[in-house]
Structure 1
């Protein structure tokens, strides 16, 4: 039996590979635009670079919840994706992501 591509590649490795490809593309666009004096390519490279920084920053609550294996992961992702562009829902999602239920004191 042969294993499928997704069975061989772990999701984190796949994401790292895709990020490396996008970063390389942004760098190549910037180089080409700079040395051929085509500002549209430089602008596209800057947009790609901004996306590489801002998308993970926007998803910090969802990433945090995934890393700490929060039982509220689906709720946090929903709040983060739908309302995270507003400050208050982003703070609520982050608070839910770092809340530790297992640290409650037993009375």
Structure 2
């Protein structure tokens, strides 16, 4: 197991489950339906499964430029990078108070800062 923080070692003393959850929260990407999401390129079905969004929503966000596939397979399937999940989280947070066109502008500004 990698280096453990003070909070994780405290969890270790209280029982191993707390350590595993803390480590996953720090090292993995969490989404409501998935637990820890493995790092790789994702097809639209996997993005749907891990995010809980519909195929149409993921497709619409792609067509609007809110999320971008990194590449395509030989058969033309879009492949999304792992940071698509962070983008989707941001979109869902902003969706509460902004339109999709406003979100697109905000995401462009955020990406320029990175």
Higher strand share: 2
Name the larger-Rg structure: 1
TM > 0.5 fold call: no
Q: Which has the higher helix share?
A: 1
TM (norm. structure 1) is: 0.30
**TM-score, length basis structure 2:** 0.28
